[in-house]
Structure 1
Amino acid sequence: MTILAIMKLLLPSESLRWLNKACITKDAERDLNPDGSPSNPGVICTVDQVNSVKAFLRVIPMWSTAIMFSICTNQLSFSTLQANTMNDTFEIPAGSFIVFMIFTAMVWVAFYDRVLLLLLARHTGSPNGLSSKVRMGIGLLLACVATAMAAIIESIRRGRAIDEGLENNPCGVVKLSAMWLVPQYTLLGLAEAFNPPVQIEFCYSQFPKSMSSIPMALFELAMAMSSLVGSLLVNIVDGAATKGVQEWMSRVFS
């Protein structure tokens, strides 16, 4: 082991230096045991503990974007309800439209790994092509665009339903092709290829091996929190839409 590697084990990292005070002692004989461990863990921490806290704090900002991303992708169930009320030219089951998202993600991952990554690595000088943060940002942007597109399609679909007298008929089929939903599924497929795998990869690169179980736990927690936030948003929108005007989500999609 080189001297530099030994120094990294014995000294806290330079980032977030205000946390380094937790592992600095002024009286080694009082605060440390003969084997070097803290005599009072509540007063002084080890270097590994400080570095672990720093790793966790570095990941939190990027982890919050995972919650935003999952909120955007939670629209899949709503899109299935949309497809149920739209004219299906090719007789595709409403629940099968997710195939467009899966197919797009598969094609993009293969294309990026075999073609685009080589071109980007040649121009950027990095073997990964684009950095993890850039790829996560692209995925989040695509998810937001897909959500905006879903809102536009729903506005058109609802307006068409009102014009055709299907406002109070949740089982009525609007004369609008369900294939209008394909672009938003395609964008979601690209977003899924960009963000979640890189999100996990980024977390693993930041945490030490002793915390290797944390990245997946954080990712699953982000999905759970996004479901709660998404449900809250649906309740707020439904409450606002049913106040003094025609009911929307609770009746049209009942």
Structure 2
Amino acid sequence: MFPIWASGIIFSAVYAQMSSLFVEQGKMMDRSVGSFSIPAASLSSFNIISVIIWVPIYDMVIIPIARKFTHNERGFSELQRMGIGLFTSVLCMAAAAIVEIERLQIAREMGLVDEDVAVPLSIFWQVPQYFLLGAAEVFTFIGQHEFFYEQAPDAMRSLCSALSLLTNSLGNYLSSLILTIVTYFTTKGGNVGWIPDNLNEGHLDYFFWLLAGLSFLNLLVYIVFARRYKQKKAS
């Protein structure tokens, strides 16, 4: 069960971007709605909305359709559900990178690269990445909790459920470690690096692509161990 558990750490590192670099990206975009300027962090509400939308869709639409193909009463097994979530997290980081590429392109066209100012690209272009992250959360986190509760030995169910929650904190630490390593290597030789104070002269999109790549590798490793995993026999 340990490799399955470890796969959640990379996912949690991706999830950590919602309260960190997604916000920093949003601050450098047009946040005006009429005469009102919305806080960049407020877009995390779309993640909550996404979860609220995806839970009933999963229960009432996806499960009945999947049940016809998998012949599983639940539609998907816990392992399949987590795998779908991990794949969706790759799409989430790719969407964030594409938005950043467009934002940087506008900054170059308008000569704002050397200016620490927001570019005229609506912050609502971030909505897809928040929605994808919410969908990934529904599949991965819930699937993970179900997996560890049902597959753990009876005497270790509470412990294994707690360990599944540990991936959240470890993912945050991993995110900070990756950011530190990236900053160290990309600022060598006096370069501004991928994530400078002025994001207009950086390459935050490279960092998002890096996380997308790590998430994809994590998915491949997960598939290998998930296919080899033997389900717990019913007592």
- For normalisation by structure 2, the TM-score amounts to 0.75
Equivalent in the alignment of 2:29: 86
Q: Which moved more, 1:61-70 or 1:82-91?
A: 82-91
Deviations 1:122-142 (A, max 9, x none): 443221111111111110011
Shift of 1:162: 4.2
Q: Which protein has the larger Cα radius of gyration, Structure 1 or Structure 2? A: 1
Q: How does 1:127-138 map to 2 (within 5 A)?
A: 127-138=73-84
- The reply on whether 1:65 has 2:3 as its aligned counterpart is no
Question: Cα distance 1:115–1:156, how it changes in 2: closer, same or farther (>3 A)?
Answer: closer
Letter in 1 for 2:14: C
Q: How does 1:107-118 map to 2 (within 5 A)?
A: 107-118=53-64
Letter in 2 for 1:66: G
Q: Which moved more, 1:174-183 or 1:121-130?
A: 121-130
Question: Cα distance 1:157–1:238, how it changes in 2: closer, same or farther (>3 A)?
Answer: farther
- The reply on whether 1:147 has 2:93 as its aligned counterpart is yes
Q: How large is the RMSD of aligned CA atoms in angstroms? A: 1.9
- The reply on whether 1:180 has 2:125 as its aligned counterpart is yes
Which stretches in structure 1 are left out of the alignment for 5+ residues? Answer: 1-58
Q: How does 1:182-201 map to 2 (within 5 A)?
A: 182-201=127-146
Greater fraction of residues in helix? 2
Work out which of the residue numbers 147, 160, 174 in structure 2 matches 1:229: 174
Counterpart CA distance in 2 for 1:241 and 1:62 is: 32
Aligned pair count reads 194
Percent sequence identity over aligned pairs: 37
- The reply on whether 1:95 has 2:37 as its aligned counterpart is no
Deviations 1:42-64 (A, max 9, x none): xxxxxxxxxxxxxxxxx111111
Work out which of the residue numbers 63, 67, 75 in structure 1 matches 2:17: 75
Deviations 1:48-85 (A, max 9, x none): xxxxxxxxxxx111111111111111111211111111
3-state SS of the aligned residue for 1:213? helix
Counterpart CA distance in 2 for 1:162 and 1:246 is: 16
Work out which of the residue numbers 192, 201, 206 in structure 1 matches 2:151: 206
- The reply on whether 1:121 has 2:63 as its aligned counterpart is no
Which stretches in structure 2 are left out of the alignment for 5+ residues? Answer: 200-235
- For normalisation by structure 1, the TM-score amounts to 0.70
Q: Which moved more, 1:236-245 or 1:139-148?
A: 236-245
Letter in 2 for 1:65: S
